Amino acid sequence: MSRDFLAVELAPADGFEPRWRSPLERALRDAPPGIRDLSRTGKLHVHGDVGAPPGVEVVRVAPDRALVLCAAADVERVRGELGERVVDMSAALAGLEVRGERLMRRLADLDLDALPAAGAVAHVPATVLRDGDAFRIFFPQEYADHVGAVVLDAAAGLA
Amino acid sequence: MRLPPSPEERIDRSRTVTFFFEGEPIEAYAGDTIGSALFAAGRRVFSRSFKYHRPRGLLCCSGHCPNCLMQVDGAPSVRVCTAPVREGTRVRSQNVLGSLDRDLLAVVDKVGGPFTPVGFYYRTMIRPRRAWPYYERFLRRVAGLGTIDKHARRSSRFDTEHRRAEVLVIGGGPSGLDAARAAARDGRRVVLVDEGLALDAQLPREDGFETIAPARAIGIYEGGLVPVDAGDVLLRFRAERVVVASGAIEQPLLFPGNDLVGVLLPSAVRRLTRLWSLRPGERAVVITADDRGLAAAEDLRRAGTSVARVVDLRTTQPAQMAARGSHGRVRSVSVDGDSVDCDVLVMSGGSQPAYSLLAQAGARVEYDGTRGIFVPRDLPPHVEAVGSAAGEGARGAAAVPAASYRGTESGGRCFVCICEDVTDKDVKRAIAEGFDSIELAKRYTTVTMGPCQGRLCHLPSIRLYARETRAEEATIGTTTARPPWAPVRLGLLAGRGHEPAKRTSLHHRHKELGAQMMWTGEWRRPHSYGDVAAEVRAVHEGVGVIDVSTLGKLLVSGPDAVSFLERLYPNRFGDLKPGRIRYAVLGTDAGRIMDDGTIGRLSERDFYVTTTSTGAETVLAWFEWWNAVWGYDVSVDNVTGALAALNVAGPRSRALLARLTELDVSPDGFGYLDAREARVAGVPCLLLRIGFVGELGYELHFPSPYAEYLWDTLLERGADAGIRPFGLEPQRILRLEKAHVIVGQDTDSESNALDANMSWLVKFDKDDFVGKWALEHVRERGPRERLVGFEMANGTVPPEGGQIVVDGLPAGRVTSARWSDAVGKAIGLAWVPPALADEDSRIEIRVDGRLEPALVRLRPFFDPDDERLRA
């Protein structure tokens, strides 16, 4: 057997049309501008050393493990290119983007000048990346309601 | 009445603010504090003391002492001397019975002395014992300060913010500012926090660094963590270097009557006259051990208060001093028998470096005999002290003559600690009783344990101790400094009320279906959807579906996967064929049961391991730890959240599944304990044919984003078969009918697999596995107790945890018990002595004090031969 049951991006089969739903869809329904759902990003866990194929981002989350981010459509290709020790974690992690250092400081005890890094966001384990004023946060999807609520609440406190 | 306007004053006379004191409106100017406005309105008594209910007035005006604690908008124990006035604020006195000016509990001061000596609560009000409830109610009413509204809701919003700085400067006095400027010039990222500034000197605006005020550092913790109370935001600073410039604190003098209303420290005079243009009184006496008192005399003269006498203790050594008052207000001061009338008495016993934050950070505190103060030494590497906090320029009351500690003979109480109403007599008595270590004496007398946290009483109490025990201050040492350095609102520490909870991808579907949710570990799960019996029936007779996404799910892959698992588990896996599943129990080194689950072999080198819902993280850590020890070529991935999981169970589950998949689901094509990969309703699934609930059933594991889709599809396509979702409670009944064990419910941290009747899975012929040695011992010594099933003779459901009683003595315990409609009996699992672990053994279980008979059962209560399960 393979591990295809972990694959989120699938070709339709048997006449069924499975509907993908983001774990953050409900939590971010009333989100203010600047907060975006990134849950559909492709996310792969890779053990050992990683060469970065084109079009992907590699975040080292532990000495022997990396999180590889890519477009949803590229997951299958990237998985093939990265070899054997890869697990598709696209469904395991929810992702969101927030804007503003102040908001981020209310969510996490992280050195915002030393990102990407792994650490707690809203008290749950997360990986955080920074692009200027925007922060991307990836965390276990079972906390999506909680993290969504904390982010919206923190944003409301700064509004 | 205010003095004529001055350029220095902090009030804006063009803007008035109205607030309420005890319901009466009080007019204040913008820039006033509640304390200054009340003083301007003529109020002199601000509080009643903790124990004796003596009137107390403004003393320090700097937010140090306990004399101006009031309830402000419901918040207890607010220091009004530094709390800015706000429009409409409601202020009330606290710790009084009656009013501030007429407090009925002041009777304690008149008659209570002999009855309430230090430590009285350890000795009196104990007998007769049955009267304690009345004593307690009385003591609770009179003890303490403000009152907390137990029904209050969150009054304001408190947030937490994580900040970083290369250099954090605590205190914005001249030394703090210099340190901040210097560090900023060196190109460091500097932040300066200061408590009060709004009151003292306006901080200059600096470009080189950031200033936060009013903000108070409440502690220095490991790793340069400094929480700062900035009002409604708790700033959790992490700083590479912390510079403490917390200054020095003015010290009182010890003499009878030193707590009377009208006795002031120099800072109070400075602030009242300069910031708020108030005249402290008509006629003053100053007794001082340093220049601060002389400066206060100058301030008083400028404000129009006549200074009747100045006693400089550096040049005069009076043998006796005492203040006398009436109605708690100072009326005269006598020095060596020479009495002077006054309504203001300024005392200055020198100043003590505010070293508490430094001591918390790990600094040693040492007595400097030449200056009569404690100074911080041996600072930890990332912390430094500057200015008076470091002892610079601070001068204690080395010059204070012995006389100031005597004189109690002349009557009146002499307070060492005004927060807790501890007098010199109390301290002497404690010493006489043998409390000769300062740490013990602190606990007995409670000196330094009040709201000022030792600011005003630490030094005087140690010096009194030294004098009374004829020891050097240096040998007495100090009491331990602990955070918080200043009172902090609990709401600020609590922050926002969010609790991290794990929810499955079907959480909202469950709620839409009316599920009652319950906590299992961090998870929220449906207890049931309202009709437990019907949910059980659906699984027995038709088909039910339960969300089991909370199961821990691990992928174990690599060339050494078999060796790794065989060494971790007592089970064997080498003979498990790809596509097959085995129940497995994970044990500790001591052979105790840690977790359980199923392990499916996906390929030669890939295994799919499930764990209990609450055990996933522990098992993962356990796997990773052993893998690091053994160094196998194996990788372990936690895919718990990646996959949702549904258990579709019941005699009609096969027919339902057949409608949704092309997989051959016939008994021959997909047998019991088989694993298959296939699409179900178009979703790629790992299908496991296992049955915790005991009926024909399948676990579907699939990408969590499709959970709602697949759930909806199953309910829709199974509607004609009567499909029902079922919750945890029906699941617990169903598994109990099969005597299936729940680890953590039916086992505890002492249980092992042999006693729990799982010896069939323990393979002693393997080379080694975790806990093998311990289990061999268990095998040799034989079981101490056994986990068995039981059914009640008369249908009573015993409580879980209920006692098994043999010959009148407890001999075991019930771990699970439920009523089962399918069996028609009350059934359960229990640990019993091995001698009773036989079919039909009679046992007795204590239920509500009675003993109820039950029969031991060693086989499942329902479908004992697993015919339905394997169908």
Question: What is the tens place of the pLDDT at every residue in B275-314?
Answer: 999 999 999 999 998 899 999 999 999 999 999 999 998 8
Distance from CA of A83 to the nearest CA of B (A): 13
Q: CA–CA separation, A31 vs A34, rounded Å?
A: 8
Over residues A69-92, the pLDDT tens digits come to 999 999 988 888 887 788 999 999
| A3 shares contact with chain B (CB less than 8 Å) | yes
Cβ within 8 Å, pair A108-B641: no
- Tokens found for residue B259: 């707590």
Distance from CA of A37 to the nearest CA of B (A): 14
Distance from CA of A5 to the nearest CA of B (A): 5
* pLDDT bracket for residue B408 (50, 70, 90): very low
Q: Are residues B631 and B598 in the same domain?
A: yes
- The pLDDT, as a whole number, for residue B81 is 92
- The pLDDT, as a whole number, for residue B197 is 53
- Tokens found for residue B648: 């579709």
Q: CA–CA separation, B478 vs B390, rounded Å?
A: 16
Over residues B363-380, the pLDDT tens digits come to 999 888 888 888 999 999
Q: In CATH, what number is assigned to the domain containing residue B383? A: 3.50.50.60
Dihedral of alpha carbons A22, A24, A30, A32, sign: negative
Distance from CA of B703 to the nearest CA of A (A): 6
Cβ within 8 Å, pair A26-B679: no
| B505 shares contact with chain A (CB less than 8 Å) | yes
| More confident of the two residues B708 and A51 | B708
B77: closest CA among B88, B67, B87, B89?
Answer: B67
| More confident of the two residues B491 and B234 | B234
Q: How many CB pairs under 8 A join A and B?
A: 159
Q: Which residue is it, tokens 């099969």? A: B738
| B713 shares contact with chain A (CB less than 8 Å) | yes
Cβ within 8 Å, pair B704-A91: yes
Over residues B678-698, the pLDDT tens digits come to 999 999 999 999 989 999 999
Q: Are residues B122 and B20 in the same domain?
A: yes
Best to test chain B binding among A4, A5, A26, A28 (most B CBs inside 10 Å): A5
Cβ within 8 Å, pair B682-A10: yes
Cβ within 8 Å, pair B500-A154: no
Q: Which residue of A has its CA nearest to B708?
A: A21
Q: Which amino acid is at A16?
A: F
A31-158, what's its fold? Gyrase A; domain 2 (3.30.1360)
Task: Give, as one character, the DSSP assignment of residue B224.
Answer: G
- The pLDDT, as a whole number, for residue A81 is 86
Considering only the C-alpha atoms of chain B, give the largest distance between any 2 of them, rounded to a whole number of Å: 113
H, E, C per residue of B628-672 = HHHCCCCEEEECCCCEEEEEEECCCHHHHHHHHCCCCCCCCCCCC
Q: Which residue is it, tokens 């001082």? A: B288
Q: Which residues of B touch A88 (CB under 8 A)?
A: 642
- The pLDDT, as a whole number, for residue B268 is 95
- Any domain includes B148: no
Q: Are residues B254 and B312 in the same domain?
A: yes
Is the per-residue pLDDT at B572 higher than 90? Answer: yes
**Residue among A3, A4, A106 whose CB faces B159 most closely:** A106
Distance from CA of B633 to the nearest CA of A (A): 11
Is residue B551 within 8 Å of B734, Cβ to Cβ?
no
Distance from CA of B642 to the nearest CA of A (A): 4
Is the per-residue pLDDT at B448 higher than 50? Answer: yes
- The pLDDT, as a whole number, for residue B121 is 67
Count H helices and E strands in chain A, helices first.
Answer: 3, 9
Is the per-residue pLDDT at B412 higher than 90? Answer: no
Distance from CA of B160 to the nearest CA of A (A): 6
| More confident of the two residues B63 and B620 | B620
Q: Which residues of A touch B212 (CB under 8 A)?
A: none
Q: Are residues B612 and B473 in the same domain?
A: no
| A2 shares contact with chain B (CB less than 8 Å) | yes
Best to test chain B binding among A3, A29, A115 (most B CBs inside 10 Å): A3
B88-92, B425-429, B632-636, B837-841: segment of lowest average pLDDT: B425-429
Q: Which residues of A touch B555 (CB under 8 A)?
A: 3, 87
Over residues B156-205, the pLDDT tens digits come to 789 999 999 999 999 988 899 999 999 999 999 999 999 875 444 556 66
For residue B518, CA distances in Å to A55, B106, B142, B345, B613 come to 44, 52, 42, 64, 13
Q: Are residues B202 and B233 in the same domain?
A: yes
* pLDDT bracket for residue B104 (50, 70, 90): confident
Q: CA–CA separation, B391 vs B374, rounded Å?
A: 8
Is the per-residue pLDDT at B793 higher than 60? Answer: yes
A65: closest CA among B618, B640, B637, B623?
Answer: B637
Which DSSP string corresponds to B439-474? HHHHHHH-TT-STTTTTTTHHHHHHHHHHHHT--HH
Q: CA–CA separation, B93 vs A39, rounded Å?
A: 55
Is residue B714 within 8 Å of B723, Cβ to Cβ?
yes
**Domain ranges for chain A:** 31-158
- The pLDDT, as a whole number, for residue B401 is 44
- The pLDDT, as a whole number, for residue B403 is 41
Interface of A with B in 53-72 (CB under 8 A): none
- Any domain includes B870: yes
- Across residues B608-632, what is the average pLDDT? 95
- Tokens found for residue A17: 């049309």
From B338, B368, B403, the end of a domain falls on B403
- Tokens found for residue B754: 């042999």
Is the per-residue pLDDT at B853 higher than 90? Answer: yes
* pLDDT bracket for residue A1 (50, 70, 90): low
| More confident of the two residues B62 and B102 | B62
What is chain B's mean pLDDT, rounded?
90
- List strand residue ranges (DSSP E) for B9-158, in order: 12-21, 24-30, 47-48, 55-56, 69-72, 75-79, 90-92
Is the per-residue pLDDT at B476 higher than 90? Answer: no
- Helical segments of B513-667, H only: 532-541, 561-568, 616-630, 653-660
Count H helices and E strands in chain B, helices first.
Answer: 21, 46
* pLDDT bracket for residue B501 (50, 70, 90): very high
Is the per-residue pLDDT at B269 higher than 90? Answer: yes
**Residue among A1, A14, A157 whose CB faces B677 most closely:** A1
Q: Are residues B717 and B760 in the same domain?
A: no
Q: Which residue of A has its CA nearest to B685?
A: A5
Cβ within 8 Å, pair B705-A149: no
Q: Which residues of A touch B159 (CB under 8 A)?
A: 106, 154, 157
| More confident of the two residues B407 and B220 | B220
Which helix or strand (DSSP H or E) is residue B178 part of?
helix B174-185
- The pLDDT, as a whole number, for residue B241 is 96
| B840 shares contact with chain A (CB less than 8 Å) | no
* pLDDT bracket for residue B411 (50, 70, 90): low
**Residue among B160, B660, B702 whose CB faces A106 most closely:** B160
Residues in chain B: 871
Q: Which residues of B touch A20 (CB under 8 A)?
A: 705-706, 709
- Across residues B113-140, what is the average pLDDT? 74
Over residues B201-233, the pLDDT tens digits come to 556 667 789 999 889 999 999 888 999 999 899
- Whether omega for the bond prior to residue A116 falls within 30 degrees of 0, making it cis, is yes
Q: Are residues B21 and B132 in the same domain?
A: yes
Q: Which residue of B has its CA nearest to A15?
A: B682
Task: Give, as one character, the DSSP assignment of residue B528.
Answer: E
* pLDDT bracket for residue B399 (50, 70, 90): very low
Cβ within 8 Å, pair A23-B705: yes
| B71 shares contact with chain A (CB less than 8 Å) | no
- Across residues B491-513, what is the average pLDDT? 93
Q: In CATH, what number is assigned to the domain containing residue B629? A: 3.30.70.1400
The backbone torsions φ and ψ at residue B724, rounded to the nearest 5 degrees and listed phi first, read -135, 140
Q: CA–CA separation, B330 vs B45, rounded Å?
A: 12
* pLDDT bracket for residue B481 (50, 70, 90): confident
Q: Are residues B733 and B669 in the same domain?
A: yes
Cβ within 8 Å, pair B641-A91: yes
- The pLDDT, as a whole number, for residue B402 is 44
Q: Are residues B458 and B521 in the same domain?
A: no
Cβ within 8 Å, pair B161-A157: no
Q: Are residues B313 and B278 in the same domain?
A: yes
In terms of phi and psi (left: phi > 0; alpha: psi -120 to 50; beta: otherwise), the region of A56 is beta
| A88 shares contact with chain B (CB less than 8 Å) | yes
Q: In CATH, what number is assigned to the domain containing residue B651? A: 3.30.1360.120
Q: Which residue is it, tokens 């609770």? A: B140
Interface of B with A in 634-693 (CB under 8 A): 635, 637-643, 660-662, 675-677, 679, 681-686
Q: Are residues B388 and B472 in the same domain?
A: no
Q: Which residues of A touch B679 (CB under 8 A)?
A: 13-14, 16
**Residue among B500, B502, B642 whose CB faces A92 most closely:** B642
CB atoms within 10 A of CB B385: 29
Q: Are residues B217 and B237 in the same domain?
A: yes
Q: Which residues of A touch B210 (CB under 8 A)?
A: none
Is the per-residue pLDDT at B396 higher than 70? Answer: no
Is the per-residue pLDDT at B407 higher than 60? Answer: no
What is the domain range of residue B622?
552-640+752-782
Instruction: Identify the three-state secondary structure at position B778.
Output: helix
Q: Which residues of B touch A5 (CB under 8 A)?
A: 643, 677, 684-686, 701-703
**Residue among A1, A45, A122 whose CB faces B579 most closely:** A1
- Across residues B787-794, what is the average pLDDT? 95
Interface of B with A in 72-131 (CB under 8 A): none
Is the per-residue pLDDT at B69 higher than 90? Answer: yes
Q: CA–CA separation, B441 vs B432, rounded Å?
A: 11
Work out how many domains chain B is built from and give that number. 7
Distance from CA of B562 to the nearest CA of A (A): 16
